Amino acid sequence: MRQRKSKRRAWIDLILIGSIIALTTIIVITISITGQFKFQKPTVSATTKYPEIPSLIDETDSKFPEIRIVSESSMNSLIPYSIDYPKTPFDLVNEQITKYIKDSKRDYITSLNEKNHVNKVKTIGDLDISTEIHLFNNQFYSIVLKKRLSLNRVSYKETYKTIVFNKETGELIDSSTLLNKDIGHLGLLAEFIQAELKEYYGKEIIDEKLVQTTVPNWNNFNRFAITSESVIFYFNQGELAEEHAGPATINIPIYYLNPILASAFQSEVKSNVTIVTPKTDRKKVALTFDDGPHPQVTMQILNTLEKYGAKATFFMLGKQVENHKNIVHEVLNRGHEIGNHTYNHPVLTKQSTSQVSWQVDYTSQVIYDVIGEYPTLFRPPYGATNSYVESLIDVPVILWTIDTYDWKYRDSNKLLPIIKANLHDGAIILMHDIHQSTADGLESVLAYLQQEGYECVTVSEILNIH
């Protein structure tokens, strides 16, 4: 009996010893592997939900004392990448750069993994992000991140990310700051760049994309860099033209832009050649009227426009269209243009995706049901828009270059002085056909425009959309 107990105890001891040895071996191996990769562990993050790739990371000086360059390369031969990006003294700038790099890696790794999962054949991709840094007037840095992406190492797509900031304060510079927050200046720039892009791409240009991308909207022109001699605007591959045509960079000497730049960005070099030189034989403006139609005010405006042979664009609310169908027909029959201004005038940037889509799509359908045509232009209420809102809208989004503030003053005598003070060739003038004061002040405006040699045309004509 004692012998049996002794043998059983011996077997138990052996099992316990074996288990301890096995567990110790596993721990040692785990520690060894973890210690080997001090760079970036191959894990599946709970927040990113994609497999991270182990990488080698190095940091070196750049030619600019305040900026370091971080270099990161993949250690996974099936998912290779090579990335260079800057590190600046400013958290806000670094956050934008870091987010762009993380998003680019995530999209690349996820897309490649999905492609391999679907095809069940291992393909190797490629991701390369390089950095250019420009310093203007020893005051403003421009960071240009150029991304070259492939999921098969056969076809590549090139895109850009730019960040411009004040060297001393870290303040971010956007197109609005560059152009002194003047929407009229943006209109002139948009017209010039549209012509340059047509020449750059030639027959490869896609007209609809060109129009949408060069509408005078601040967001459309935020991808730029300022060098010592020029302002460069960047357009991604496939954004404006056929994919095989590649990306576009429009390089404009600063002295060409001097008249429309904020003083901090102007060049000391002067030139008689500027982009504000009118390119048309006859000066043109686009009169636009929002929030109607109104049964009395809109009709008075139509009669005044007819008296002066002027055309205009009416951005209508869906609820007003439903209530005044006969006026909608009258606007169209007199040769004017009808645009979509949502159904009941909400701030779109505060709406959900479904709400934005409903406001736009339902209003387009309401207009179609009345006149048999869908509107081909859209104006956001209050001018409130962003890139996400615009991604939900499949027609050009139109703002304005002159705000008459007729909605604020409600004074017929203030309409003309404001237009006079801001008038320029190619202007898009904002008014409202729901205020009696606007209808009463319109004739003096039209008489002045006629005297100054301006032709009143639709928005589509002024922007060469159709």
Helix ranges (H only) for 202-293 are 207-213, 254-257
- From the number of C-beta atoms within 10 Å of its C-beta (0-12, 13-18, 19+), residue 236 rates as middle
User: CB-hemisphere CA count at 13 Å for 113?
Assistant: 13
For residue 241, CA distances in Å to 209, 232, 237, 246, 377 come to 7, 18, 7, 8, 21
Tell me how far apart the alpha carbons of residues 335 and 301 are, in angstroms, rounded to a whole number. 13
The alpha carbon torsion through 238, 244, 247, 248 (nearest 10 deg) reads -110
Q: Burial level of 231, CB count in 10 A (0-12/13-18/19+)?
A: buried
Other Cβ atoms closer than 10 A to 61 = 9
Residue 371: count other Cβ atoms within 10 Å of its Cβ.
Answer: 16
d(CA 209, CA 197): 11
For residue 313, list its beta bridge partners: 288, 337
Closest CA to 424 of 289, 304, 277: 277
* Residues in a beta bridge with 69: 60, 86
- 287 touches 306 (CB < 8 A): no
Q: What is the dihedral of CA 238, 244, 247, 252, to 10 degrees?
A: -110
Count other C-beta atoms under 10 Å from residue 449's C-beta.
Answer: 24
Which residue numbers are catalytic?
A: 290, 432
